[in-house]
Chain A
Amino acid sequence: MIAAPGQGLALARDEGETAAARTRIAVQGLAKRFNASGREFVAVDDVSFEVKQGEFVALLGPSGCGKSTILNMVAGLLPRSGGRILIDEDTVETGKVNPRVGYVFQRDTLFPWRTVEQNIGYGLEIAGLPRAERAGRVASAVEKAGLSGFAQSFPRMLSGGMRQRVALMRTLILEPEILLMDEPFGALDTHTKLEMHKTLLEIWERERQTVLFVTHDLGEALTLASRIILLSARPGRLKEDFDVAIPRPRDPVAVRETAEFGRLYSHIWHSLGEEFRRTRAD
């Protein structure tokens, strides 16, 4: 069974928090084709969705389904082959940075020659914020990330989880209204991952940025997101789109014991299973 685009939208919407909010990200008929050694292959095919103000949307799909490609096109890091992307009703231009948008990478992209506080303060520094004003904001960000005592450390002295906290704060300190995250916790061990979920949930439940979060981790998507967009295996097409009606504030461990978590988990599990079987049959 392959769902036509938009068909999954028919699933019940039962989380009211996004109902009347304005659209921040609009993806319309998005396509991406690559040329690999003379052969063209379709990575993303006719994907359309919207993300409203204050929504936490997880883009979930099997590996290689093009979900990171979609995110990179939304961020303007990658040119698109077809379709449109609007952020706040402005078309996204490749290579042009939107100051309202923050991006967190899957890979460690900290600057190893800068200390933790210099990394976190990078965006403020190059924006020309005076040193005194910068110091205060950096100090509070360092504390918020639970990195007090490590402000003067270089990234190589930190664990993977701590480094990803620094990366998160380096983006969040610029107070982006829209946050694009590309499997930011993909490389972390389970325990560290849960701690990062806790940190991110605390921040998001307080500040309510609009988030588009790419992941292949079903549990992660259910823990964090208020809505999940499920993509099919390659070429990436929209398969399902549904709300995650688990009440907030959420705890990354306790959330797994809720009935809603279990129900959605098994539903998505079977839905993803179909995709894996389809990939193998190719």
Chain B
Amino acid sequence: MSNSRAVILFWQLAILAAVLVIWQWGFDWSKALLPKAYVPKILDPYFVAKPTLIWQSFLRLGCFADAGGFTACVTGNDNNLWLATLVTLKNTWWGFLFGSASGIAAGLILGRSDFLARVFGPYIVALNSIPRIALVPLVILIFGLGDLSKIATAWLVVFFVVFFNTFEGTRAVDRDQIAAARLLGASEFTVLRTVVIPSALAWVFASLLPAVSFALIGVIVGEFIGAERGLGKLIIEAEARANASEMMVAIFVMMFVGILLAIAVRSLQSYLLRWQPQFEPSA
């Protein structure tokens, strides 16, 4: 009984409520009750804002509380919350798409060709050893402050993750299944299409879920270092003004963006891998 859905939901909501209450009033209460030295700094609204302040900032940044009306606010501000979210989401999406598409293609080609795998192997290991973040200033130098540099950064992060998984997945294809397909008349290309790709798909998807988060990280870091628009830019601007509540707004929006992207990948995964037991439609 203790792990029924209602009980679990109850505890989840209770934790949420407790966090919000402590966040909102914890600092005031501890200031009133505790000696000054024991008041936890982490609860200081100057650093972490407060749920009500964050909500107000959200309304203001999101143009819900503007005197001039919603439309005027959105069109008047180059980096309002809506535009910033849209730009970050768009760049994340393209970076993820290009990164995973090229990662899958390269993984399949090198996974199927021993020769190419041996030629390119050391280069890939060497490139993969570079912390991707170290390349971001270079990417911005090459592609400028616009969207292209953010897409390129996300691509850099996503490519290797997806590549390595696709490569391993292609290597792990059951040799007898390939032999069976050949004996049933499959050509090299048909084997790739009907055996190697479906079989490697589980490996590919295992990397796509983290890849989505990585793409978002890549875009945000790119925006931190140099950008005109985007959620990362919003955070940097808020930091310059020491405005914790605006930073929190951007952070929460990123969280929702991340969740939405993960849900999208998961639903695609559970459809394409429905033959696997863990994705069996629940009875």
Within the assembled complex, what's the spacing in Å between the Cα atoms of A122 and B184? 8
Q: Are B199 and A170 in contact (CB under 8 A)?
A: no
Instruction: Identify 22 residue pairs between A and B in the complex whose beta-carbon atoms are under 8 Å apart, listed by A's number.
Output: A75-B183, A97-B183, A99-B185, A102-B183, A103-B180, A109-B177, A111-B177, A111-B181, A111-B198, A112-B276, A113-B201, A113-B273, A113-B275, A122-B181, A126-B185, A154-B274, A156-B276, A170-B184, A171-B183, A171-B184, A174-B184, A174-B185
The yes or no answer to A278 lying at the interface (CB within 8 A) is no
Which chain B residues numbered 149 to 194 have a C-beta less than 8 Å away from chain A? 174, 176-177, 179-186, 190, 194
By secondary structure, the A interface counts as loop
Smallest CB gap from A72: residue in B: B179
The yes or no answer to A123 lying at the interface (CB within 8 A) is yes
B185 to chain A, nearest CB (A): 6
Q: What residues of chain B lie closer than 8 Å to A170, measured between beta carbons? A: 184
Within the assembled complex, what's the spacing in Å between the Cα atoms of A114 and B190? 15
Within the assembled complex, what's the spacing in Å between the Cα atoms of A127 and B190? 10
Task: Give the most central of A113, A170, A171: most B CB within 10 Å.
Answer: A113
Q: Are A126 and B275 in contact (CB under 8 A)?
A: no
Q: Are B275 and A123 in contact (CB under 8 A)?
A: no
Task: Give the most central of B194, B198, B199, B201: most A CB within 10 Å.
Answer: B194
Q: Are A113 and B198 in contact (CB under 8 A)?
A: yes
Q: What residues of chain A lie closer than 8 Å to B182, measured between beta carbons? A: 97
Task: Give the most central of B181, B185, B199: most A CB within 10 Å.
Answer: B185
The yes or no answer to A9 lying at the interface (CB within 8 A) is no
Q: What residues of chain B lie closer than 8 Å to A154, measured between beta carbons? A: 274-275
Query: A113-B275, A154-B275 in contact; A123/B176 too (CB < 8 A)?
Result: no
Which chain A residues numbered 228 to 273 have a C-beta less than 8 Å away from chain B? none
Interface string of A170-211 (1 = CB under 8 A from B): 110010000000000000000000000000000000000000
Q: What residues of chain A lie closer than 8 Å to B199, measured between beta carbons? A: 113
Q: What residues of chain B lie closer than 8 Å to A97, measured between beta carbons? A: 182-183, 185
New A-B contacts (19) at CB < 8 Å, excluding given A109-B174, A112-B276? A77-B183, A97-B183, A103-B180, A103-B183, A107-B176, A109-B180, A111-B195, A113-B201, A122-B181, A123-B185, A126-B184, A126-B186, A126-B190, A126-B194, A127-B185, A154-B274, A154-B275, A170-B184, A174-B185
The yes or no answer to B277 lying at the interface (CB within 8 A) is yes
Cβ-closest 8 pairs across A and B:
A123-B184, A109-B180, A113-B275, A113-B198, A154-B275, A103-B183, A109-B176, A126-B190
Which chain A residues numbered 160 to 176 have a C-beta less than 8 Å away from chain B? 170-171, 174
Categorize the interface residue count of chain A. 20 to 34
The yes or no answer to A276 lying at the interface (CB within 8 A) is no
Q: What residues of chain A lie closer than 8 Å to B185, measured between beta carbons? A: 97, 99, 123, 126-127, 174
Which chain A residues numbered 61 to 105 have a C-beta less than 8 Å away from chain B? 75, 77, 97, 99, 101-103, 105
Interface residues of A (CB under 8 A from B): 75, 77, 97, 99, 101-103, 105, 107, 109, 111-114, 122-123, 126-127, 154, 156, 170-171, 174
Smallest CB gap from A122: residue in B: B184
Q: What residues of chain A lie closer than 8 Å to B198, measured between beta carbons? A: 111, 113
Q: What residues of chain A lie closer than 8 Å to B186, measured between beta carbons? A: 126
Within the assembled complex, what's the spacing in Å between the Cα atoms of A154 and B182? 21
Within the assembled complex, what's the spacing in Å between the Cα atoms of A196 and B48? 70
Interface string of B182-224 (1 = CB under 8 A from A): 1111100010001100110100000000000000000000000
Q: What residues of chain A lie closer than 8 Å to B275, measured between beta carbons? A: 112-114, 154, 156
Within the assembled complex, what's the spacing in Å between the Cα atoms of A109 and B186? 15
Interface string of B248-283 (1 = CB under 8 A from A): 000000000000000000000000011111000000
Q: What residues of chain B lie closer than 8 Å to A156, measured between beta carbons? A: 275-277
Q: What residues of chain B lie closer than 8 Å to A126, measured between beta carbons? A: 181, 184-186, 190, 194
Within the assembled complex, what's the spacing in Å between the Cα atoms of A102 and B183? 7
Within the assembled complex, what's the spacing in Å between the Cα atoms of A83 and B275? 44
Q: What residues of chain B lie closer than 8 Å to A99, measured between beta carbons? A: 185
Within the assembled complex, what's the spacing in Å between the Cα atoms of A123 and B181? 8
Q: What residues of chain A lie closer than 8 Å to B183, measured between beta carbons? A: 75, 77, 97, 101-103, 171
A62 to chain B, nearest CB (A): 23
Q: Are B194 and A109 in contact (CB under 8 A)?
A: no
Within the assembled complex, what's the spacing in Å between the Cα atoms of A174 and B181? 13
Task: Give the most central of B181, B183, B276: most A CB within 10 Å.
Answer: B183
